[in-house]
Amino acid sequence: MKTRKPQKEAKSSGTITMLDVAEYAGVSAQTVSRVVGNSSLVAEKTRRRVEEAIQALRYIPNDAARSLASASSRVVAVIIPTLSSSAFAAEVKGVIDALEPHKISVIIGNTEYSQAREEAILQSLLERRPIGVILTGLQHSPKVRSLLQQSGVAVIETWDTDGDPIDMAVGFSNFTAGYDVGKLLCERGSKRIAFVGGGSAQDSRAQSRYLGLCKAVKEAKLPDVHRVELSLPMSGNDGIRGLDEVLRDAPLTDAIFFSADTMALAAILECNRRGIRIPEQLAICGFGDYELAAMVTPSLTTVRTQPDEMGATAAQMLLARISESGNAKHKVVLAHQLVRRGSA
């Protein structure tokens, strides 16, 4: 136990509060608050005394009390479909790293691609009174929308800019990305193109890519895209399953656009094993540009997005909104890039 103990109040219940620090430093609690809050209205000498007291007593501010008194928290909520996807994990990391210097914590919700879970998780997270909520995609249930609207938090929707955001958005155009892939496949001479991805209801971003692909295919006057829907979340095994389904149901297919690199990579490896020549016999295109995409043989043609950059940008937009410096952007479209390699 400490040698130095507040004498006059028997209220020292073990936890060290600002009052303890104030007493130790011979100032008022308010002055301690100013020091902790880096207020400029403190004499240098006083500040040093208080900081010494903080060190000596190992004082750690209580954020709950701060939030309650100031009616504002230091928390941002991020709701993503799943942390299993390296893309979403990278986004979250971008958010955390950008917010850490500001002492803002990030709490995460996994919806597993379920709208019902999104609602429940949002409701739960709103109890923390976050200063901002970062969502995935532009498609949300009415309940989510009304919860958001009513709570008045800043909202940032990510991964999609093909629509109107609730509040702010940062991402890229999935439609254009899909269209770009379609044009590439058409121009390289593919005639019968397939798309493998999640269900349209669950993953509207993948759906947009599909629609973009369809547009390019239509413009090239090719047969309709053969679509294989798999349940989310998708893993490498789903890539093989998707490949199998395409080969079975549309055997003339000569190009597949997978909605994620995990699947495309697995498909390439499986084709190698089966002796299916890529891209001569079957062209393959992925999405996400995972690190291994450049390393497989043939290397994977894919679309590079910037998940970490997206997370960092979302965080910056939130900070800008909070500081009300006026330069808060409402919609930021990040570049995506078609990376042409050996597989298509």
Partner DNA sequence: TTGTACGCGTTATCAA
Partner DNA sequence: TTGATAACGCGTACAA
Binding-site ranges for DNA (CB under 7 A): 1-6, 8, 11, 13, 15, 17-19, 26-31, 33-34, 36-37, 41-43, 45-47, 59, 61-62, 65-66, 68-71
User: Contact, 199 vs 113, CB < 8 A?
Assistant: no
Q: Which is nearer to a copy of itself, 105 or 337 (CB)?
A: 105
The interface region with a copy of itself, picked from 20-28, 122-130, 218-226, 322-330 by CB under 8 A, is 122-130
Q: Which is nearer to a copy of itself, 103 or 248 (CB)?
A: 103
Q: How far apart are the first and last CA of the chain?
A: 69
Widest distance between CA atoms in the chain: 87
Which of 331, 330, 318 is closest to 134 using CA atoms?
A: 318
The β-bridge relationship of strands 283-285 and 255-258 is parallel
Q: Which is nearer to DNA, 37 or 189 (CB)?
A: 37
Q: Which is nearer to DNA, 11 or 248 (CB)?
A: 11
DSSP classification of residue 39: -
Q: Structure tokens of 279?
A: 């891209």
Say if residue 159 is exposed, middle or buried (CB neighbours under 10 Å; 0-12, 13-18, 19+).
buried
Q: Which is nearer to a copy of itself, 97 or 309 (CB)?
A: 97
Is 272 an interacting residue with respect to a copy of itself (CB under 8 A)?
Answer: yes
CB of 9 to DNA, least distance (A): 9
DSSP classification of residue 165: -
For 249, 268, 279, the CA distances from 252, given in Å and listed in that order, are 9, 18, 14
The interface region with a copy of itself, picked from 147-155, 175-183, 184-192, 221-229 by CB under 8 A, is 147-155
User: Contact, 140 vs 302, CB < 8 A?
Assistant: no
Contact residue for a copy of itself among 25, 42, 79, 108 (CB under 8 A): 108
The residue ranges that bind a copy of itself (CB under 8 A) are: 2, 15, 58, 60-68, 71, 73, 75, 82-84, 86, 89-90, 92-93, 96-97, 100, 103, 105-110, 121, 123-129, 147, 150-151, 235-237, 240, 262, 265-266, 269-270, 272-273, 291-292, 295-297
